[in-house]
Amino acid sequence: TERREYHIHHTGGKMKFKRGGDLWFQDLKFQKQLEEFGMRSQRRMVEATGNAILKLHENIVVDTPVDTGAAASNWFIGANKASDKTTDDTSLQNVVEAHAVVSAAKMNPNQVKSFVIYNNLDYIPYLEYGWSMQAPQGMYRKNIVKWRKILDAEAKKVSRQR
């Protein structure tokens, strides 16, 4: 029995086939389908990661010790980078801002490589490492260990969507 190998080449246009030669696949629909698949995958990845980062952010804010509320109000989310931002506002507006950052990322999924949770207050390391009796295990370390579980749960939710 003679064994033949076929090679598929994508060059744009229409499909061509040469007997005994390579199969030239020039279907623009196929290329468009591949591009759409890539975009859907990127969108779903950003959606799942964004939802998970919001959950993690919420957990960290809730677990942050409260005296004036400044520490909890200075946890921010950044897309691709942190900033040197701080705030004197203790109304937890940072939670609303976090949702806005993630929503913007979901609208432009190709622009997002990572999310960052950060707090620029000088005393955050002291709170994280047991300075407060309200959170002796810290707030970031306590929650970051749950990251994989949170992300997996959000990925499952997103994968069920059509």
| pLDDT, mean of each 10-residue run, the chain (162 residues) | 45 46 54 75 91 97 96 96 96 97 94 94 94 91 95 93 72
Rounded Cα gap, residues 135 and 97, in angstroms = 24
Rounded Cα gap, residues 153 and 29, in angstroms = 34
Asked whether the whole model's pTM tops 0.85, one would answer: no
Q: What is the pLDDT of residue 107?
A: 94
What are the two backbone dihedrals, phi and then psi, of residue 22, each rounded to the nearest 5 degrees? -80, 155
- Residue 160, sorted as left (phi over 0), alpha (psi -120 to 50) or beta, turns out to be alpha
Quick one: three-class SS letters along 58-123?
HHHHHHCCCCCCHHHHCCEEEECCCCCCCCCCCCCHHHHHHHHHHHHHHHCHHHCCCEEEECCCCC
Give the SS3 label for residue 151: helix
Q: What is the pLDDT of residue 14?
A: 45
Q: What is the pLDDT of residue 24?
A: 46
Q: What are the b/e assignments for 33-62, b being 16+ CB within 10 Å?
A: eeeeeeeeeebeebbbbbbbbbbbbebbbe
Q: What is the pLDDT of residue 150?
A: 97
Q: What is the pLDDT of residue 160?
A: 86
